[in-house]
């Protein structure tokens, strides 16, 4: 049986990235119809997976000459692999993806994981003076490359409204939870437990410092309260600031920081925690976003302390999944009482938060 070769490529994401490998890569590989190659950032421990070949090609600092050269390095690798389909999930590969697909009759798919234009323009990832230039350069590439892109995968439902360049040729593949191989449905959590969790990207825009402030407020009332922070920050000053706070407050621990963390470690922390914290400060970069960790917490039946966000609240309320608060105006004592007296997830777990629903759409498109 002749199999089609598919490349999934990113520059900054590790080759075992959740979306590239655990979701899209494994979903394609298990059909036994495709040989999947994943190009991405270097990691120490490469997974073993049937019908998937890993290319840990990139290893550089965030702002460096090697990062500028990474697309050309990827292009050379594509010439060796000669895929029938190319899936990229970073704007930095749009130009080489368009060129390669044009001259090699390769199906070209852009997996849009973020609104990069807004992320660059409205967050502190880059120096303030260069943000407008970089943001408009990214948007220019996205519009110009639409002539060459055969299809778009959208990680957020809201992207259908936010992007005009994806119209009429897109499929929404939300970042729902893909269980690990030995996934066991979580038992009911102990509402009297005191372990809080903040997971995911560590940045001002994802609310990590608000989570720390919340933990400090609750700890003053209940000394058993602790906070685990697990995730990665591309900005060293963010990691330094968190480390400084963990030294001042021994009940706060950090795993990751300026080092990538395996997704299996994140899931382990979710299953050990009593409450997860989700808060995005008001910012145009995340105004319509649904955090991946919301699906992870829901699927693992982790009670959530969540901000007053109508979209997220509606999901949580439908499953009695947590408590919504105003992070700028709450009483720690009242919140602590509510945490310990509320009944969470009274119904049996269902599969609506799992990747399987998105996998069906992915495979249908690839078959077509």
Mark whether 277 and 163 lie in a shared domain. no
Same domain, 105 and 217: no
Cβ(343)–Cβ(320) below 8 Å: yes
Q: Which residue has the higher pLDDT, 368 or 142?
A: 142
Residue 48 placed within a domain: yes
109 strand-pairing partners: 87, 151
Backbone angles phi, psi at 52, to 5 degrees: -125, 130
Instruction: Name the pTM for this structure.
Output: 0.91
Whether 190 is in a domain gets the answer no
Average pLDDT over residues 43-57: 91
The residue that leads in pLDDT, 259 or 348, is 259
Is the domain of 18 the same as that of 153? yes
In total, how many domains does the chain have?
2
- The pLDDT value given to residue 234: 84
Same domain, 138 and 16: yes
pLDDT tens digits for 145-192? 999 999 999 999 999 999 999 988 999 999 999 987 655 555 555 656
Same domain for 335 and 360, yes or no, is no
| 56 Cα distance to chain centroid | 19
Q: Do residue 55 and residue 85 come from a single domain? A: yes
3-state helix, strand, coil in the chain (%, to 5): 40, 20, 40
Averaged pLDDT, 62-66: 69
Closest CA to 256 of 228, 284, 296, 216: 228
Query: Can you tell me whether residue 85 is helix, strand or coil?
Result: strand
Mean pLDDT for the chain? 91
**For residue 62, pLDDT beyond 80:** no
CATH number of the domain to which 81 belongs: 3.40.50.2000
Same-domain status, 107 and 84: yes
**Do residue 167 and residue 231 come from a single domain?**
no
Decide if 181 is inside a domain. no
- Same domain membership, residue 96 and residue 239: no
Same domain, 337 and 360: no
Look at residues 129, 326, 123 and name the one whose alpha carbon lies nearest to residue 238: 123
**Alpha-carbon distance 211 to 229, whole Å?**
9
Please tell me whether residues 21 and 123 are part of one structural domain: yes
The answer to whether 89 touches 20, Cβ cutoff 8 Å, is yes
Asked, for residue 71, whether it belongs to a domain, the answer is yes
DSSP H or E stretch at residue 26: helix 26-29
Chain-centre distance for alpha carbon 42? 18
Task: Report if residue 346 sits inside a domain.
Answer: no
Which tens digits make up the pLDDT trace of 78-124?
A: 999 999 999 999 999 999 999 999 999 899 999 999 999 999 999 88
Residue 110 lies in a domain: yes
Grade residue 298 by pLDDT with cuts at 50, 70 and 90: very high
- How would residue 309 be classed by pLDDT, with cut points 50, 70 and 90? confident
Q: Are residues 153 and 216 in the same domain?
A: no
Does residue 348 belong to any structural domain of this protein? no
Residue 185 counted as domain residue: no
Q: Give the mean model confidence (pLDDT) for residues 215-243.
A: 95
pLDDT computed for residue 352 by the predictor? 87
Rounded CA separation 130/121 (Å): 9
Which residue segment(s) compose the domain that 298 sits in? 195-341
Q: Which of 81, 75, 90, 67 is nearest to 35 (CA)?
A: 81
Which pLDDT value is given to residue 116? Answer: 95
Q: How far apart are CA 317 and CA 321, in angstroms?
A: 6
- What average pLDDT does the segment 64-87 reach? 91
């Amino acid at each position: 049986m002749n199999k089609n070769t598919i490349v999934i490529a990113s520059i900054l994401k590790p080759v075992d990235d959740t979306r590239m490998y655990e979701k899209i890569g494994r979903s394609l590989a298990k059909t036994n119809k495709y040989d999947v190659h994943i190009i991405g950032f270097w990691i120490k421990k490469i997974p073993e997976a049937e019908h998937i070949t890993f290319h840990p090609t990139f290893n550089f600092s965030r702002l460096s000459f090697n990062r500028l050269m990474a697309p050309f390095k990827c292009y050379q690798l594509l010439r060796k692999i000669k895929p029938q389909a190319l899936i990229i999930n970073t704007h930095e590969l749009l130009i080489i993806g368009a060129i390669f697909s044009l001259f090699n009759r390769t199906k070209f798919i852009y997996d849009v994981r973020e609104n990069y234009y807004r992320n660059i323009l409205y967050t502190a990832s880059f120096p303030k003076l260069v943000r407008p230039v970089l943001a408009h350069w990214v948007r220019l590439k996205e519009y110009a490359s639409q002539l060459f892109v055969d299809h778009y995968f959208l990680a957020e439902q809201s992207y259908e409204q936010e992007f005009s360049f994806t119209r009429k040729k897109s499929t929404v593949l939300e970042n729902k939870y893909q269980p690990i191989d030995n996934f066991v449905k979580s038992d009911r959590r102990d509402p009297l437990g005191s372990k809080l969790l903040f997971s995911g990207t560590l940045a001002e825009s994802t609310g990590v410092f608000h989570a720390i402030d919340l933990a400090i407020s609750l700890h003053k009332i209940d000394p058993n309260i602790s906070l685990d922070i697990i995730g990665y920050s591309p900005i060293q000053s963010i990691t330094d600031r968190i480390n400084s706070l963990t030294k001042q407050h021994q009940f706060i621990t950090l795993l990751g920081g300026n080092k990538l963390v395996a997704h299996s470690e994140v899931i382990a922390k979710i299953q050990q925690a009593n409450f997860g914290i989700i808060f995005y400060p008001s910012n145009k970069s995340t105004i319509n976003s649904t955090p991946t960790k919301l699906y992870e917490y829901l699927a693992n039946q982790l009670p959530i302390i969540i901000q007053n966000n109508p979209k997220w609240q509606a999901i949580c309320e439908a499953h009695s999944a947590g408590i919504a608060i105003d992070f700028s105006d709450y009483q720690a004592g009242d919140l602590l009482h509510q945490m310990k007296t509320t009944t969470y997830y009274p119904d049996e777990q269902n599969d609506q938060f799992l990747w399987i629903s998105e996998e069906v759409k992915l495979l249908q498109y690839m078959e077509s």
